[in-house]
Structure 1
């Protein structure tokens, strides 16, 4: 019997092709494409930030503790219950004075603090300040999440700009090499072996730059996905940066002194330190009550039941076999005073004072840091805005120079090395222009965060 191997091979190819198509379709279904811009990137980072979620949880916890502190003004209620069993009274005459075999009691006690009411006032102020500090910390984390995402986005966009520019350069280099090869092979006197080799070396060099730019772009995309907390199946799509925010809208920044003053009024991290400083003062005031007596009013209700099991009694007729119940209500005032605790209260007070001093120093240092941050971002933005028109003009000049050099090269009036030099000058000018446009947008957002506002691509709060 003869088996047709060709038919079996065809069937195997068909089966593998079918399964491959299914796998490709499933992979396509799982992959999510996401096209984002600068604003949507910051919004997505704010939504997915783990630090921001943790900060929100801290705020909710502080808010809950502050709410519960108001209940400490009122009374506290305690309940207790116990049951006791006694040995039989006919065994060695034990428990002969007991009227029963078992007793159960229930006690309810209401205590109303008196001296601690004023102490709790400071406790409420302390917790309220900590709650406000947590709210400012949450805002600060929101600013950090947005500015970190903006930086990652602009770096990825910059890498994309470099890649596109180098791709265009590679296409031009390929055309130059092809034309040089044709002219050299046809015996054109204007193109010698040196021109051919330089054109080929330039093509290989630019191709290598393109491959490096691809890897850099992919790495920046992965970093952006990590910052945005996106899954591996998500594919991010970006567009090259054509113009910065400042080129689209002719705007003027406010004066530096005005922005510095606004930063002192708006910075959430500075306000958080200010609130923590206030909280530390309230904590010290609350701690002072440990050196004074605590006075409380109380009222206690007690119900006691005594049970007598006749089966466990002897024949002693003097014992009362009936059950009994006792009720009692009392009230009064209690006082406790820790006169000496081995210096624990003094040590705690010293620690709190040290905490207050650190908060004061931290507040002063943060003021200096904020002023420096605002000045640096303001001056960098202003400097980049002044350089931008020059780089635009320089890019136009090099573009025109390259076009003329290309014409002269084709006519034999320019060497390959001179053409390559003109090409590299245009490449560097385009890359510098794209970079400063990205830097301007980043400096603009960084200045917003330095002032203490939520970074946004179209924020006009800092504009006259």
Structure 2
């Protein structure tokens, strides 16, 4: 039997190419999996926040303007130069009064402001206040990006907890239905048709809840990826919440009045408004100089040269073939004063005063709003911490009750409806406990942000 070597070779090439394409598709379909927790979620959000990058750019811009304002105290240097050509004189007697073919001049002038030194001082103070306000805005955006990520992460984690709890409940319901079916089919007198139908309905109902919980979890994961600015193909892996931060260590919060005072001293958005108000005051002081004359000292050097009988220009035989050069140095004092500009300066000053008043109102409103925010977050956290032990105990009681109910159901001393009620009580208790733990973590971070500190588990500024 003979084999065609070429056909065999072509067959191997086709097989290898197909396998390579399949392998390549498998490699492409594999998405990166990112294991994250609450802290890493906040770190990623801070790193990828577009608002934070915009705030940093604003700070860099105002910082650069403030740095340049120092140079406005010194003199300015102006230079000018010009060259003029005079066409050849003709019968029309053009340029008859010119004996030169070309003239050139160069002037250098140094001007030192005198009265504007004080004006520039207020300008520098205004830009310094704006720079500081931009720095506080940057810190405030950092806090916002982290707390927004924390909220999205804890919502996704809560959805995962619900899904895992309901999935476990469904597995127990499926086992109960299977056992009930076996007992009913074998003629056990303790299990009738009603028990069988209720067990089946309970299993199917919980299965629907599991499907809903899975969809909700997927939705929260997508929202988390959106908040963290992650690629759509990135797979996130979360762990169910077993305990809150407060359960791992004993924490005693500072008194409310102390935290409110801390918020007034630390809140970046309040500090930003404070600096913005200061900038508006400095701007008004700077505007005052528009009503006074501007006085400057100057020194000027000039050089002027004239050229005769250049090639192609003014080659008249009656002109002297000579070049001249003159130099001059001068210095003095100049003054300019806009005595009346039609009320434009007054209108501008009125606008600046109005802006200052608005900044004062915004500052006062922010102080009140911050105090209320601290109070609400503090009281919510304290109440949650008080309820947490009760929910833990209640969940343990319902767990024990369900175990006993399950034994009584198997021995025929409990109906299916009673067992289902016990099971649902345990399910709701577990979900409430998991939600409370997530709320405690979120309220802990929210209280930190209300005080004006960077939200983090390692933050101890709120603890005695």
Equivalent residue of 1:82, what SS? strand
Give the CA deviation at 1:143. Answer: 0.6
Output aligned runs, 1:81-120, within 5 Å: 81-120=81-120
Q: TM-score, normalised by structure 1?
A: 0.95
Q: Would the alpha carbon gap of residues 113 and 410 (structure 1) be closer, same or farther in structure 2, given more than 3 Å must change?
A: same
Q: Which residue of 1 aligns with 2:3?
A: none
| Partner SS for 1:254 | coil
Give unpaired runs (5+ residues) of structure 2.
1-7
The answer (yes or no) to whether the contact 1:381–1:440 under 8 Å persists in 2 is yes
Contact 1:90 1:314 in 2 (8 A): no
Question: CA contact under 8 A between 2:34 and 2:236: conserved in structure 1?
Answer: yes
2:285 maps to 1:265? no
Could you say what secondary structure the match of 1:296 adopts?
strand
1:293 aligns with 2:288: no
Q: Is the 8 A contact 1:306 1:325 kept in 2?
A: yes
After TM superposition, list the pairs within 5 Å mapping 1:422-441 onto structure 2: 422-441=422-441
Alpha-carbon contact 1:100-1:321 (below 8 Å) kept: no
User: What is aligned with 1:3?
Assistant: none
- Relative distance call for 1:73 and 1:411 in structure 2 (3 A) is same
Tell me the secondary structure at the aligned position of residue 312 of structure 1: coil
- Measured in 2, the distance between the counterparts of 1:98 and 1:55 equals 62
Tell me the distance in 2 between the aligned counterparts of 1:158 and 1:311.
91
In structure 2, distance between residues paired with 1:359 and 1:172: 62
Partner of 1:239: 239
Structure 2 match to 1:340: 340
What is the CA distance between 1:341 and its match in structure 2?
1.0
- Please state how far the C-alpha of 1:321 moved relative to its aligned partner: 2.3
Moved over 6 A (4+): 9-15
2:200 alignment partner in structure 1: 200
The CA distance in 2 between the partners of 1:400 and 1:119, in whole Å, is 79
Rounded to whole Å, the distance in 2 between the matches of 1:63 and 1:154 is 37
Contact 2:87–2:313, Cα closer than 8 Å, also in 1: no
Task: Supply the distance in 1 between the matched residues of 2:350 and 2:314 (Cα, whole angstroms).
Answer: 64
Partner of 1:4: none
Aligned equivalents of 2:85, 2:311: Cα separation in 1? 14
Cα deviation 1:383-403 (Å, max 9, x = unaligned)? 000000000010001111111
Q: Tell me the TM-score normalised to structure 2 length.
A: 0.95
1:312 to partner: Cα distance: 2.9
> How far did residue 258 of structure 1 move?
0.6
Q: CA RMSD in A?
A: 1.9
2:86 and 2:101 in contact (8 A); partners too: yes
- Structure 1 residues 312 and 250, CA gap change in structure 2 (3 angstroms): closer
Matches within 5 A, 1:300-311: 300-308=300-308, 309=310, 311=312
CA shift digits 1:141-168 (9 cap, x unpaired): 1111111111111111111111110110
Contact 1:90 1:313 in 2 (8 A): no
Q: CA deviation at 1:12?
A: 8.9
In structure 2, do the counterparts of structure 1 residues 76 and 15 end up closer, same or farther at CA, with 3 Å as the change threshold?
closer
> Which stretch shows the higher mean deviation, 211-220 or 368-377?
211-220
Cα drift, residue 419 of structure 1: 1.1
Corresponding residue SS for 2:105: strand
Give 1:324 deviation, angstroms. 2.0
Q: Is the 2:445–2:456 contact (alpha carbons within 8 Å) kept by the matching residues of 1? A: yes
* Cα shift at 1:79: 1.1
